[in-house]
Amino acid sequence: MQDGAVTLLFIQIFNGLVNGAFYALLSLGLAVIFGMLRIVNFAHGALYMLGAFTAYALGEKFGLGFWASLAIAPLSVGLFGMLLERTMIRRLYDLPASYNLLLTFGLTLVIQDGVRLIYGISGQPYAPPQQLSGATNLGFIFFPTFRLFAIVVSVVVCSVTWFVIERTRVGAVIRACTENPTITRAFGIDVSLWVTAVFGFGSALAGLAGVLAAPIYSVDPLMGSELIITTFAVVVIGGLGSILGSVVTGYAVGVLVAIGSALYPPIANTLIFILMALVLLLRPSGLFGLQEAR
């Protein structure tokens, strides 16, 4: 009996890591955008949904499978993000934060309704690729193969992103662009181009999460609006703009929710917000956030 309980706990921790993989990918995108541009992107959930719908549309219209979509959908969503940045988001940089909220939240509604006009409110079917369908025997449990794949993608993408931004020259340029645009410009770097690229990259991450979610969750116009609330809580707990913080917190929150739902389901979703409230009380800049005056 004791043994069974331990196995169950172990299973739920493992399962939580998978859910965490999505939180991590999504909050990573948010953190990159906030960390570099100081924009809280409420349209992130809509971009995630667009990623899933792009994959669906690619399959429906062009017969492209999951693997092609895995490359094309994030790219398209990234390009769409860059377009948004160039035409609209750009104007927010010197405006008060409330404009940020109004614009990005407004964009969410426009994108959601746009998709709804085309595809309707109910979901669309999307199957995992042949190679990854079915379940794998992990010894202690049968686990969907696709979810194992999702966790691998998430870990790889998160680590690479962290490494690029924190440890490479490209990252140094990006950080310079946001910390002191004027001086960076003096070095002959096209700051505005980098800023667009960063926003595009953050959007592409949302798109990627969307493609990965398509075979697991219902593909419907409102799929992003649910997840985005949790994602924001993750980002706040991790520390706004902290890349490491959002990734680690993403996984941790996934595990927390899984254990919570196994022990006492009604509290599962509330747990995140309890944790968020505690963090805001005790360490307002988040677990990994720098003490930054803003």
Partner 1 sequence: MTTMRSAAGLCVLLAAGAASAQYSAGGIKVGLLTDMNGVYSAISGPGSQKAAEMAADDFMKANKDFAGKVTVIAVDHQNKADIASNKASEMYDRLDVDAIFDTVNSACALATSAIAAQRKKVFIDTGAGTSELTNEKCNKFTFHYAYDNYMLANGTGTTIAKQGGKTWYMIYPNYAFGQNLERQFRAAVEKNGGKLVAPSDATPFPNTDFSTYLLKAQSLKPQVFGTMQAGADLVNVVKQYNEFGLKKQNIGLAIGLLFESDIAALGQDAYQGAIATVPWFWNLDKAATDWSAKFEKAAGKKPTFDQAAVYSAVTQYLQAVKRAKTDEGEKVVAQLEGHKFNDFFARNAQIRKEDHRTILDVYQVQVKPKSEAKAEGDYYKEVNKTPADQAFTPLSESKCKMAQ
Query: Does 258 help bind partner 1 (rule: CB under 8 A)?
Result: yes
Q: Which candidate, 34, 70, 30, places its Cα nearest to that of 52?
A: 70
Residue 228 neighbours by CB under 8 Å, 6+ apart? 26, 42, 44, 45, 48
Residue 212's contacts (CB-CB under 8 Å, 6 or more residues apart) are 21, 22, 25, 70, 150, 153, 154
Q: Kindly indicate which of the ranges 72-80, 125-133, 148-156, 235-243 contains the residues binding partner 1, using the contact rule CB under 8 A.
A: 125-133
Q: In whole angstroms, how close is the CB of 135 to partner 1 at the nearest point? A: 4
Please select the residue that binds partner 1; options are 13, 70, 155, 218, rule is CB under 8 A.
218
The reply to whether 226 sits near partner 1 by the rule CB under 8 A is yes
The reply on whether position 105 binds partner 1 by CB under 8 A is: no
Least Å distance between CB 264 and partner 1?
9
Q: Does 85 interact with partner 1 (rule: CB under 8 A)?
A: no
User: Is the distance from CB of 230 to CB of 254 less than 8 angstroms?
Assistant: no
List phi, psi (to 5°) of 179: -75, -40
DSSP secondary structure of 249-273? HHHHHHHHHHHHHHH-GGGHHHHHH
Smaller CB separation from partner 1, 173 or 222: 222
How far, in Å, CA of 130 to CA of 256, rounded? 31
Q: Does 227 bind partner 1 (CB under 8 A)?
A: yes
Q: Which of 64, 88, 153, 268 binds partner 1 (CB under 8 A)?
A: 268
* Rounded Cα–Cα distance for residues 47 and 112 (Å): 9
18 touches partner 1 by CB under 8 A: yes
Q: How far is the CB of 276 from partner 1 (least distance, A)?
A: 16
CA angle centred on 218, ends 216 and 206, rounded to 5°: 70
| 216: contact with partner 1 by CB under 8 A | yes
**Which of the residues 131 through 170 are near partner 1 (CB under 8 A)?**
134-135, 141-144, 146-147
**Number of neighbouring beta carbons within 10 Å of residue 250:** 29
Q: How far, in Å, CA of 86 to CA of 82, rounded?
A: 6
Q: Is 219 helix (H, G, I), strand (E, B) or coil?
A: strand
Options 30-38, 89-97, 119-127, 179-187: segment touching partner 1 (CB under 8 A): 119-127
The answer to whether residue 269 forms part of the interface with partner 1 (CB under 8 A) is yes
Among 284, 87, 63, 68, smallest CA distance to 199 is for 87
Residue 250 touches partner 1, criterion: CB under 8 A: no
The answer to whether residue 245 forms part of the interface with partner 1 (CB under 8 A) is: no
What is the binding site for partner 1 (CB under 8 A)?
4, 8, 11-12, 15, 18-19, 116, 120-125, 127-128, 134-135, 141-144, 146-147, 215-218, 220, 222-223, 226-227, 258, 261-262, 265-266, 268-269
